Amino acid sequence: MKIGQQINFILMEKTASSLYSLIADGDYRATSLGRDTWKMLIGSEASLQPICNREGFNVVADMIESHKAKVRIGILGNEGSDACHTCDSRIGFGAGGHPDNSNTCGNEATHGGDNGDKHIKTIGYILVY
């Protein structure tokens, strides 16, 4: 992700025939990078709620309403005891839903993020080899 003039990156190893094959069907595919690695993409300003930590491809909150938090590639966070039901934080690519549907790449966090409320929009690069 590019924030200002700083470019941060992480390496994710996932065997598949293509990136398209990982996301096109909408099925959730877990990764195990961990919240600190995802936050590293944003840098010191990153913020995530402490609960849920569902990460990977096609990550979606359990909430039924149409504004639920989601990311094509990334991680979701929540502050409540309902695990991944009402997520109010995310870091990732192809993002949308609550709390800001217009932030499609970057970091959104409200309601108890570990580094406060954040609305960080970034430029994202996905390199596949």
Task: Give the predicted TM-score (pTM) of the model.
Answer: 0.92
Give the largest Cα separation in the chain, rounded: 39
Q: Write the pLDDT tens digit of every residue in 60-85.
A: 998 767 668 999 999 999 987 778 98
The pLDDT value recorded for residue 7 is 84
Strands (E), the chain: 2-3, 6-7, 29-30, 51-60, 70-78, 89-93, 105-109, 118-121
The domain limits of the chain are 2-121
The pLDDT value recorded for residue 102 is 93
The pLDDT value recorded for residue 66 is 61
User: Amino acid letter at 120?
Assistant: I
**What residues of the chain score a pLDDT lower than 70?**
2, 64, 66-67
The pLDDT value recorded for residue 64 is 66
